[in-house]
Amino acid sequence: MNRESNELIGRYVYHVGKHLPPERREDVARELTSLIGDRVDDEVRPSESEEAVVLRVLREMGPPPAVAERYGYERRLLIGTGSLPAFFKLAKILPVVILALSVLSFPYADGFTLSAFATWLVNYLHSVLLNLGVLVVVFVVLEQLSRTHAKPEADFDPEKLSPPPAPFDGGKVRPAVLVAKIYATVVVLLLFNFYPNVVGVWTNAGMARFWVVPLSAVGVHVPLWLFNVWLAGHVLLKTEVLRQGTWTRESRWTQVGLAMLGLVVFIAALWSSHLGQLDTGFLESLGLAPSDPRVKALSEASRALVLAAGPLILLGLWSIAKDVRRLLRASGSAA
Amino acid sequence: MWHTVQKTDQSTAVPESLALELRRGALVLAALGALRTEQYGYSLKKSLAEAEIHVDEGTLYPLLRRLETQELLSSRWVIEEGRPRRYYKITNQGQATLTALSGEWELLSKALRRVLK
């Protein structure tokens, strides 16, 4: 089979694979390549070029999403087969994470009674069911957003399929680490938005105000909506990486974008906060009057800590620049 | 999709969905029967076609995978003529299923003949 024919088949098989679960892609791709090759060899005639036969065979097989659908029943499931492994991973770990949080929230101070345990157990089961429901909704929405609708077969042109991207080594996907990070991020989102008092945060006019150890004397403010966008971006990115089973060029660039947004959040927090100014409430709790000489020392210490933000920002920028350089190099070598 | 080559005027009048529904179950029987001899996907398609059972790739190959998942078929990769080919063969469990399905087919066929007489 000539190079052009192989390239056409390669493109087609790649596009079928995009709609299959990661663990089945290679096997199905190998089989499809072999089957198409057999059929083309069988049907090629001296009167027709090999590429023309390949195109005819691919047209007859139909659009890649339709072929993948037959392998994976994509349209019959609200959550596609490509997303199911990630969904199950998250669904399995979810009860454990909620259990850990529930154990922490048990009212130990009131003593252990059967009725308190029963209430706790009901609340735990309620939380698990609620969160599983939320997980299903998130995956269904992601699925619907990512699903490529198959074009009508009459419109399908195998020649117009884009070539597979050059191989990209985006690093190993560690599902357990990603799952842990997703849950940690969701927990932070929930705490900041619904249980701010648990972590010493309160919100005012759309701003989250929280204590940062050891800057406990300095109120740090951050625009809550920006903070939420940043964290939600991380959750969506990691869920998508789990779903795809690989770090792609796009997901790595998105990660760089989120790192930049993280810096923006950090700088916004510094900009919006009255850093170096000690909170009067905090001083009262220590029994210190504003005129107390120790207040000045504390204030200077907090300013010094704020100065550490500069190197932190530089470190963040350096890390981002390193990632960008690596991605650009990968793109350059691919080209 | 599975279709037979020879169609009468009456059969073409049958709604395609009903015809497909009728044939779908029988395709499993046909594939298991044909795979008593080890074959790769395309050769199976051709041998079914010779028996006037025309199945498109999009239906046949996913079906083979499902039957393999159900342990009714086993498969192995063989490099032939410079091309890797996946050969399928019926398993013992598949053979038992084929025998049972063939019996069902005979019973159904007889029963339908009586009903349609």
Q: At what angle do helices A50-61 and A22-43 cross, to 10 degrees?
A: 130
B20 at interface of A, judged by CB pairs closer than 8 A: no
Residue A309, φ and ψ in degrees, nearest 5: -60, -35
B2-116 is a CATH 3.60.70.12 domain: no
Interchain contact, B58 vs A34, CB within 8 Å: no
The whole-number pLDDT of residue A282 equals 63
Query: What's the predicted TM-score (pTM) here?
Result: 0.54
Whether chain A has a CB inside 8 Å of the CB on B103: the answer is no
- Domain positions in chain B are 2-116
Q: How far apart are CA A190 and CA A101, in angstroms?
A: 12
Residues of B in contact with A70 (CB under 8 A): 58-59, 62
- What confidence tens digit (pLDDT) does each residue in A236-276 have? 899 888 877 788 888 899 999 999 999 888 887 776 665 55
Distance from the Cα of B25 to chain A's closest Cα (Å) equals 16
pLDDT above 50 for A31 = yes
Pick among B47, B56, B57, B86 to test the A interface (most A CBs inside 10 A): B57
Contacts for A209 with CB less than 8 Å, ≥ 6 apart: A201, A202, A203, A219, A220, A221
**pLDDT tens figures, A116-126:** 888 888 888 98
- Return the SS3 of A218: strand
pLDDT tens, B9-66?
A: 444 566 767 777 777 778 899 999 999 999 998 899 999 999 888 887 778 888 898 8
CB contact under 8 A, A61 and B84: no
**Residues A172, A101: Cα–Cα separation, whole Å:** 29
Average pLDDT over chain A, rounded to an integer: 78
> Cβ contacts (< 8 Å) between B46 and chain A: which residues?
42
Confidence of residue A198 (pLDDT cuts 50, 70, 90): low
Pairing relationship of beta strands A207-212 and B83-90 according to DSSP bridges: unpaired
Q: Which of B70, B65, B71, B23 shows the shortest CA–CA distance to B44?
A: B65
**Residues of A engaging B, defined by a Cβ cutoff of 8 Å:** 30-32, 34-35, 37-39, 42, 60-62, 66-67, 70-71
**Best A6, A16, A38, A71 residue to mutate vs chain B (most B CBs within 10 Å):** A38
- Chain B neighbors of A71, CB-CB under 8 A: 61-62, 65
Which candidate in A12, A26, A34 is best for mutational testing of the B interface (most B CBs within 10 A)? A34
Q: Is the ipTM of this complex over 0.90?
A: no
CB-defined contacts A:B, below 8 A: 41
DSSP letter for each residue of A190-201? HHHHH-GGGGTE
